[in-house]
Amino acid sequence: MNYELLENSARNSRLGDVHPAVKLILGLGCILISVSSESFLTPLVIAVSISLITVVFGGIHPRMYLRLLFIPLGFALLSVLVILFVRNSGEILFSCSVFGWLTLTVTTGSINEGTLILSRIFGGMCALFFISLSTPVTEIFTLAKKCRLPEFLTELAMLIYRFIFILMEQAEMIYRAQVMRLGYMRRKGAAESFGCMAGTLFIHSLESGEAVIAAMDCRCYTGRYASLGEQGVFFGQALFGTLLYLSVMLCIMTLSGNTQLYGGVIP
């Protein structure tokens, strides 16, 4: 289901006619600028702008985009919460005692670092979703072959990408069957059910791999997959717009310098 969601969204995107190389340059460029920025402003600008490009120009439904965005953002928020209470530098803003022996302290330095990390994650995540929701995987693999990447790496990535979602769907089916049989009502039963599911998935992955090899041999597999990706037709204008956008983001990163939430611009 996740595989179909991403692939259908990428296939139906309004940016489908744009050459995949341009979309990869835009997405990867935004990721590099986001993780390289010393200010939280630049990744936030990238996150907002690239999200608007994905939703408005790509035709992705805003509700679906937000649902996808909240999944990794939740893990990022948990990581930032740990940083808030671990990094102690600067003025103390909040402090409380837990269990009488543990003191949790939030300082200006921890907020600055947490804000910067969260903005970097947010900007890179939005750029990655732009690539996923606008570029089908077949086009990415076709482009990788044209860039002279080793074919065995490309074909291995194709198989891994496909089998990830096959195993996820199989795990979801097994989990639902176990829940219907009250397999997770108690801790001991939950551990046993999880172990059975893991063992079943391991056996299923081996059987699926053997079935794929047998199917490829029946189709006269010679060690190379055929490239079926279709390349977009818009390249020149889209590349110019992409380079202009990245140049603007670089200017914003340079002008913002080391702007922090507390303390302003630090030289």
Per-residue exposure over 170-179, b if at least 16 CB sit within 10 Å of its own CB, e if not: beeebeeebe
pLDDT in tens, 150-196: 877 877 787 787 777 778 788 888 888 888 888 788 887 788 888 88
Confidence (pLDDT) at 239:
85
Report if residue 141 sits inside a domain: no
- Say whether both 111 and 4 belong to one domain: yes
pLDDT of residue 266: 45
| Sign for the pseudo-dihedral over CA of 50, 51, 53, 59 | positive
Low-confidence ranges of the chain (pLDDT < 50): 1, 265-267
The beta strand positions in 99-146, using DSSP E, are 102-107
Which tokens belong to 129?
A: 């979703």
Q: Does any domain span residue 156? A: yes
102 in the same domain as 85: yes
Residues 22 and 84 in one domain: yes
- Structural domain contains residue 40: yes
Q: Are 158 and 225 in contact (CB under 8 A)?
A: yes
One domain for residues 120 and 18: yes
Q: What is the pLDDT of residue 108?
A: 78
pLDDT reported for residue 248:
93
Q: Are residues 127 and 33 in the same domain?
A: yes
Q: What is the CA radius of gyration of the chain?
A: 23
Q: Please tell me the distance from the alpha carbon of residue 145 to that of residue 153, in angstroms, as a whole number.
A: 10
Q: How many domains does the chain have?
A: 2
127 and 244 together in one domain: yes
Within this chain, do residues 98 and 123 fall inside the same structural domain, yes or no?
Answer: yes
**Helix/strand/coil for 18:** strand
- Which of 267, 265, 262 is CA-nearest to residue 110? 262
Strands 92-98 and 264-265: unpaired
193 and 266 in a single domain? The answer is no
Alpha carbons within 13 angstroms on the beta-carbon side of residue 28 total: 8
pLDDT of res. 191:
84
**Please, which residues bridge with residue 115 across strands?**
none
Domain-embedded: residue 17: yes
Length of the chain: 267
Q: Are residues 158 and 202 in the same domain?
A: yes
What is d(CA 124, CA 244) in angstroms, rounded to the nearest whole number?
19
Is there a domain that residue 143 lies in?
no
Same domain, 13 and 39: yes
Domain that holds residue 53: 1-136+230-267
47 domain residue, yes or no: yes
pLDDT at 187: 80
Q: Same structural domain for residues 24 and 90?
A: yes
In a domain, 205, yes or no: yes
Same domain, 159 and 32: no
* Angle between helix 20-36 and 236-256 (nearest 10): 0
In the chain, the amino acid numbered 238 is A
- In this prediction, residue 232 carries a pLDDT of 55
Per DSSP, what are the bridge partners of residue 102?
A: 98
